[in-house]
Amino acid sequence: MKKSKDEINAFLGRGTEFEGKFSFTGAVRVDGKISGEIFSNGTLIVGESAVINSRIHVADIIISGEVHGDIFAERKIEITVPGKLFGNIKTPKLVLEEGVIFEGNCKMKNLNQETEKDSALSQKKTEGLSVLKQSNK
């Protein structure tokens, strides 16, 4: 049987602790504690009892627990009550429910277009330039 795109295929329950690099596909729900880095092209669901101290790069994230760290979401960040987010975010779509806590900076643009523009601009700026390195002797 084929799993639907939004079906949760992993669950870290209350009382679970994970430290390190965590990557997954599909959707994962966390109700425990994670510290380290989180990478996915899927959805991360942060339950009410979750406490996450991580740098996060996902397609979508839904936060109902507590997150400390910077988040890069390719599609959307959603924070629902009683969610708390302490960190900087980059995402094209942000949904904040009334009563949540968000402390940090937010950058909202179509991130794919931004990356392409930055790459083209960087290439233009360095065309025909020579870079000299100065030694510290």
Inter-residue contact 27 to 46 (CB < 8 Å): no
* Confidence (pLDDT) at 10: 84
Residue 136 lies in a domain: no
Instruction: List per-block mean pLDDT (blocks of 10 residues) for the chain, which spans 137 residues.
Output: 61 92 94 96 96 97 98 97 97 95 90 54 45 44
Residue 58 lies in a domain: yes
Supply the range of the domain harboring residue 73: 8-114
Residue 72 lies in a domain: yes
Q: How many domains does the chain have?
A: 1
Residue 131 lies in a domain: no
Q: Using alpha carbons, list the distances in angstroms from residue 72 to 1, 14, 105, 120, 137.
A: 32, 25, 12, 21, 40
Cis-peptide, bond into residue 82, ω within 30° of zero: yes
* Confidence (pLDDT) at 1: 37
